[in-house]
């Protein structure tokens, strides 16, 4: 599994895929869908599909695939290796949703919640398989939201394909278990080898499970919270855990609006108005030669203004 396309820029989402087995282009196939990393506040969410000919369901079952959450990391890696060695009849594809993609989607003006993002990602992966020539006849999905509604939605989008959506599908259908393993292996590798674009020095990798209720994860979030610029892009800043810490530990900013005078309102709250950053400095045009501009500003080519 070559993760370099995502590692090159882990601020955006990325699709990875195996070669399509020739037999999958000529025989009726089944496909499973599952995800890894829906709940953590750290790292990406990875959606995976796995597909094989219907005639090979028995062979897939003999590989002893199981729900990835019931397996150790070593067991998942071994099973993924088995799937890779069965590449003459097993194919897979992954969509890695970066933490930045997840958070900006959820916080944009037109709300795009995690369920909608999950549905659209799964739909996109099924369409990718069809566009690649896979002869899909059966699709099995681990549900997100009400199973009946999701099944009806997918059935209407993909007429002629028998769609089955169930809770805990990764423990019911081996093809979904295989997708679960692919997704979980990819997420584990991405998280373990995360390339921090921010200048954080030697990063403490002991961040626990990444789930919001994990004490190690909370401690890591506190340690790497910048009071002005927030979190590195490894963090899903839309999660309530991250937002609560920013509200309590980060610098308060008053955003001017049309309802009242911004400068007076900011002074009343013992804060600085955003407008103050656009005025001429008291020292004139001379810049402090020892001052280093934050990378957030330099990457976006933002500079201070002395006049408007």
Same domain, 40 and 15: yes
Same domain, 101 and 226: no
Q: What is the mean pLDDT of residues 221-244?
A: 89
**Is residue 151 marked as binding?**
no
More confidently predicted of 129 and 280:
129
- Contact of 85 with 62, CB cutoff 8 Å: no
Three-state SS string across the chain, please?
CCCHHHHCCCCCCEEEECCCCHHHHCCCEEEEEEEECCCCCECCEEEEEEEEEHHHHHHHHHCCCCCHHHCCHHHHHHHHHHHHHCCCCCEEEEEEECHHHHHHHHHCCCCCCHHHHHHHHHHHHHHHHHHCCCCEEEEEEECCCCHHHHHHHHHHHCCCCEEEEECCHHHCCHHHHHHHHHHHHHHHHHHHCCCCCCCCCCCCCCCCCCCCCCHHHHHHHHHCCECCCECCCCECCCCHHHHHHHHHHCCCCECCCCCCCHHHHHHHCCCCEHHHHHCCCCCCCCCCCCCCCCHHHHHCCCCCCCCC
Determine, yes or no, domain membership for 14.
yes
Domain with residue 60: its CATH number is 3.30.420.10
Q: How far apart are CA 52 and CA 134, in angstroms?
A: 9
Same domain, 65 and 112: yes
**Is residue 27 marked as binding?**
no
Q: What is the mean pLDDT of residues 18-44?
A: 95
Confidence of residue 257 (pLDDT cuts 50, 70, 90): low
Confidence of residue 247 (pLDDT cuts 50, 70, 90): confident
pLDDT in tens, 40-56: 999 999 999 999 999 99
pLDDT in tens, 37-93: 999 999 999 999 999 999 999 999 898 887 777 888 899 999 999 999 999 999 999
Same domain, 179 and 212: no
Radius of gyration of the CA atoms of the chain, in A? 24
Domain with residue 233: its CATH number is 1.10.10
Same domain, 75 and 20: yes
Same domain, 175 and 245: no
Same domain, 86 and 230: no
Please state the pTM of the whole predicted model. 0.81
**Is residue 75 marked as binding?**
no
Give the range with max mean pLDDT: 9-13, 67-71, 183-187.
Answer: 183-187
Q: Euclidean distance between the first and final Cα of the chain, in Å?
A: 52
Which pLDDT score is estimated for 37? Answer: 92
Residues 110, 116, 245, 228: what is their CA dihedral angle, to the nearest 10 degrees?
A: -50
- Relative to beta strand 162-166, strand 136-142 is parallel
Determine, yes or no, domain membership for 175.
yes
Q: Would the pLDDT of 33 be above 50?
A: yes
Confidence of residue 284 (pLDDT cuts 50, 70, 90): very low
- The range of the structural domain enclosing residue 228 comes to 206-252
Same domain, 127 and 152: yes
- Contact of 52 with 175, CB cutoff 8 Å: yes
Same domain, 184 and 210: no
Same domain, 119 and 153: yes
Same domain, 75 and 212: no
Determine, yes or no, domain membership for 15.
yes
Q: How many domains does the chain have?
A: 2
- Contact of 168 with 140, CB cutoff 8 Å: no
CA angle 111, 112, 114 (to 5 degrees): 130
Q: Would the pLDDT of 133 be above 80?
A: yes
Same domain, 127 and 87: yes
Determine, yes or no, domain membership for 50.
yes
Determine, yes or no, domain membership for 278.
no
């Amino acid at each position: 599994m070559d993760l370099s396309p995502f590692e090159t820029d882990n601020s955006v989402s990325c699709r990875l895929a195996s070669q399509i087995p020739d037999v999958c282009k000529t025989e009726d196939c089944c496909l499973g869908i599952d995800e890894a990393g829906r709940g953590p506040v750290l790292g990406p969410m990875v959606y995976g599909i796995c597909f094989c000919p219907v005639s090979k369901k028995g062979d897939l079952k003999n590989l002893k695939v199981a729900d990835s959450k019931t397996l150790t990391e070593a067991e998942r890696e071994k099973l993924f290796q088995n799937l890779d060695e069965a590449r003459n009849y097993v194919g897979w594809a992954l969509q890695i949703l970066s933490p930045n993609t997840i958070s900006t989607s959820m916080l944009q003006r037109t709300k795009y919640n995690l369920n909608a993002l999950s549905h659209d990602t799964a739909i996109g992966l099924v369409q990718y398989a069809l566009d690649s020539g896979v002869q899909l006849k059966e699709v099995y999905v681990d549900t997100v939201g009400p199973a009946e509604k999701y099944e009806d939605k997918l059935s209407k989008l993909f007429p002629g394909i028998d769609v089955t959506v169930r809770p805990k599908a990764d423990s019911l259908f081996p093809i979904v278990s295989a997708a679960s393993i692919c997704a979980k292996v990819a997420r584990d590798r991405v998280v373990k080898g995360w390339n921090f674009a921010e200048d954080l020095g030697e990063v403490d990798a002991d961040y626990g499970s990444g789930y919001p209720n994990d004490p190690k994860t909370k401690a890591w979030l506190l340690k790497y919270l910048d009071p002005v610029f927030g979190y590195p892009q490894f963090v899903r800043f839309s999660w309530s855990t991250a937002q609560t810490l920013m509200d309590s530990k980060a610098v308060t900013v008053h955003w001017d609006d049309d309802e009242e005078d911004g400068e007076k309102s900011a002074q009343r709250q013992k804060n600085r108005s955003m407008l103050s950053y656009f005025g001429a400095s008291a020292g004139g045009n001379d810049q402090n030669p020892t001052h280093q501009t934050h990378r957030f500003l330099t990457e976006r080519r933002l500079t201070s203004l002395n006049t408007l």
